[in-house]
Structure 1
């Protein structure tokens, strides 16, 4: 049995013997009337496309990714991602942002950023075209085509909860946004006009928007921003239409609605993982809280309907961290330990742009002033070389062991549950044991295996074991 020992650990509280089903446990989604009366946790989630289940995802904030901040510049780096072992590229919104300067319609984070710009990619003016800041519609088509030639899938970030105050769709039909009895536009928590899903015409407008990107540009899937704020039946209807264009379409929900993966979505966003992990690695919380969070997410959901992407950084986290980024908060070894967990848990691992070179620069979704771009000069540093060596090892391990993608997740009891996460991944008689020391100190731990056998490990600071 091969054993991988690394002095980089990870934060994840997974400790006692309970199990979740394989990623693709929902192979047979039946929507018969008999099944519909079953409790939600006895129904089967939909099957996820294999490319998404097997995938290694990489999120790009175009403004932070390159000094140019364009799709063309990002396209030139696609081969590097493929060579590293990424299989899916997920782009933050690249559509026309609203340029209205009225700060009444700016979010609190937008004002706080000091970018002094109305151009927020999550406050759109035109859903149907690429913002000139990033290039042209043709540049996006070229980006997708190049990605496909390299064996990469492309997912776009769609924002359908709200729009900008001068959005094209408001001119097209005033009923496309919510209004009070006096006709005044209703805004949501981010101060943007809320879309009106009671309008069949709005729904059709958005269906056709998604269809355009799939049919004309070859996009492989979408990440749906604040998915729980949009009616579930809209997403379910969207999936039916999109599957007519691409039966293997992939849909990722930023949300925790329990029914999301019954018919509409393949994966949920990884907040149930990233939040507890940060509290453990940075805040000193018990490592068991990671397991508790993931187990809590699994309960009361359809069988196989707890699939998530695992990350410790993304566009929101990096934006809100300002100069004190994940790399600084966790430290190199802490990040590496968390990466080990990401690549061995059930779900799809996701890197945020720059993690492969230990980037520490400030990022912002609201602009690129103040040097808010990846410091690519760090790519030649020793820490970046160590990070990429680790990533290649983790990717090779994940790809060569089917149990890490499709196997059962079995949490294991251990004698140091506040510090160490322990679990098994098991499939067809093969299994992988994982231990992660979430602390910057040595920890001795006894792990109880499913057959009752106990094994002893002396773990160094942030050390993890994969065997």
Structure 2
């Protein structure tokens, strides 16, 4: 319960279902400007064992499948998707595998490029399409990660060529993936794989890789070799593991920080809807590490993955709490599959790949095969504008939201107390004499909350006069000496308030 407060003011939060933003929000000008690699600073960890490009702390990542978002099914028709991503204020796209001509995760080998996704059959033209896509993304200050496969190759005609040419590079047949596993004990194969990664960067200018299944199958070796060579060539690339890794200055962070193989207790980002967000950050709970001697949460960067191509359904479903409270404002690198931001309908279909399956069943479907309905974005425009507004707040306060200490458990986050103990834990993100309070109303009814300002925990003096700004409505709503304030939030609403000292003379 809160103590009596000195100053009382009611802060209205509009009901997002009926909100009128006026002109649509465009965050493209707020996306951090990309620097050439020569100007990128490699930030070292305190113990000197790890170094990561300085732009990583600004990342918001959205996964895209080319033939689901492109206007023509190829990388040539990606302008609409890139413009959409830039409008959001997102600055990194993870592209599902542009390899071979089959299911990208089925894989024909890292030396192959998809003629279907590039729209070209000749190798030189395929490279040109890939490079042009990266160039177009970079013009919008959007980084690009290509997905690469390391389990093996499929038994299809295209995938069977390499095992015939280099049988020593392969091990047993793996029925689950309908193909042959790579033999990672073979030194020549490790060298070949690493050289292919270097070639992809040299030929396309891509910013890095999402490494499928890693650190399993391939381990760290080929990625470490490739990363070292790329650094020697001046490329400051990013390597992202799928599963929780030991990093080892090879993987800069993991796609699924809370994903524990092989039992996989948690796949999508719903942890903070069930447990106390601040307690979990401070303890490192569920932030998996692969080093048995390491404490959970000890790394600098962790993603908070709302969804990916493997997810069965979208998680957000139009909830500002699900996307804002958990990902956009929490001390993580936000990651989700395209469509979360406008509540894309989860209507599955039997696409190009599944038509080949004589017995397609719902359990085989995932967001990878989901229709991206661009018209639904217009139907759900209010929610999309709210998501953009939340991203805008994150972009306008990089000193707070792009602060990542060497140990994630030291993140600039603390609890905010209200008079509603039955609701999700409110929290503050703070730095340099400013605090942004994130206050959820996850109940099914509108609520008026009394919110205590955590002065000392965020570095403010309770004797000072403060100004409170409702950041979602861009309005200064109160100033003066106060210990707490009241706010009206709609059912399922999320309040976002800036608290800062007001200098008096």
Tell me whether the two structures share a fold, i.e. TM-score over 0.5: yes
- Residue 131 in structure 1 maps to residue 117 in structure 2: no
Contact map agreement 1:85 1:395 (CA 8 A) in 2: yes
Q: Cα gap change, 1:208/1:372 in structure 2, threshold over 3 Å: closer, same or farther?
A: same
Tell me what 1:264 maps to.
250
TM-score (structure 2 length as normaliser): 0.68
Of structures 1 and 2, the larger Rg is shown by 2
Tell me what 2:163 maps to.
170
Q: Cα gap change, 1:366/1:289 in structure 2, threshold over 3 Å: closer, same or farther?
A: farther
Contact map agreement 2:320 2:387 (CA 8 A) in 1: no
| Superposed CA RMSD | 3.5
Deviation at 1:46, TM superposition (A): 2.2
Tell me what 1:155 maps to.
145
Runs of 4+ in 1 over 6 A off after TM superposition: 368-371
Deviation at 1:289, TM superposition (A): 6.8
Tell me what 1:35 maps to.
none
Contact map agreement 1:276 1:289 (CA 8 A) in 2: no
Q: Which one of the candidate residues 387, 390, 398 is aligned to 1:391?
A: 387
Deviation at 1:232, TM superposition (A): 2.5
Alignment of 1:53-72 (within 5 A): 53-66=57-70, 68-72=72-76
Tell me what 2:495 maps to.
465
Tell me what 2:99 maps to.
95
Aligned residues: 393
SS in 2 for 1:139: helix
* Structure 2 unpaired stretches of 5+: 1-10, 18-41, 121-125, 260-265, 356-368, 405-410, 463-482, 498-505
Q: Which one of the candidate residues 327, 339, 344 is aligned to 1:354?
A: 339
Deviation at 1:220, TM superposition (A): 0.7
Contact map agreement 1:437 1:462 (CA 8 A) in 2: yes
Tell me what 1:214 maps to.
201
* Structure 1 unpaired stretches of 5+: 10-25, 31-42, 98-118, 179-184
Instruction: Describe the superposition over 1:355-409 as per-residue Cα deviations: whole angstroms up to 9, x where unpaired.
Output: 333210435797477994211122322x2x2133223222221112121111533
Instruction: Describe the superposition over 1:306-356 as per-residue Cα deviations: whole angstroms up to 9, x where unpaired.
Output: 522223222111xx23xxx44xxx542x25542343111222222422233
Using the alignment, how far apart are the partners of 1:160 and 1:365 within structure 2?
26
Using the alignment, how far apart are the partners of 2:71 and 2:433 within structure 1?
49
Tell me what 1:314 maps to.
308
Using the alignment, how far apart are the partners of 2:175 and 2:370 within structure 1?
28
Contact map agreement 2:152 2:181 (CA 8 A) in 1: yes
Tell me what 2:82 maps to.
78
Q: Cα gap change, 1:123/1:403 in structure 2, threshold over 3 Å: closer, same or farther?
A: same
Contact map agreement 2:308 2:337 (CA 8 A) in 1: yes
Deviation at 1:187, TM superposition (A): 2.2
Deviation at 1:29, TM superposition (A): 3.8
Deviation at 1:192, TM superposition (A): 3.8
More helix per residue: 1
SS in 1 for 2:181: coil
- Residue 240 in structure 1 maps to residue 228 in structure 2: yes
Deviation at 1:76, TM superposition (A): 4.6
Alignment of 1:237-386 (within 5 A): 237-257=225-245, 259-260=246-247, 262-272=248-258, 275=267, 277-278=269-270, 286-288=274-276, 291-292=279-280, 295-296=284-285, 297=287, 300-301=294-295, 305-317=299-311, 320-321=312-313, 325-326=314-315, 330-332=316-318, 334-335=319-320, 337-362=322-347, 367=352, 372-381=370-379, 383=380, 385-386=381-382
Contact map agreement 2:414 2:427 (CA 8 A) in 1: yes
- Residue 146 in structure 1 maps to residue 132 in structure 2: no
TM-score (structure 1 length as normaliser): 0.73
Contact map agreement 1:90 1:156 (CA 8 A) in 2: yes
Q: Cα gap change, 1:288/1:367 in structure 2, threshold over 3 Å: closer, same or farther?
A: farther
Q: Cα gap change, 1:69/1:404 in structure 2, threshold over 3 Å: closer, same or farther?
A: same
Deviation at 1:425, TM superposition (A): 2.1
SS in 2 for 1:264: coil
Instruction: Describe the superposition over 1:427-466 as per-residue Cα deviations: whole angstroms up to 9, x where unpaired.
Output: 3333322223344345657668373788576643222222
SS in 1 for 2:141: coil
Using the alignment, how far apart are the partners of 1:340 and 1:368 within structure 2?
36
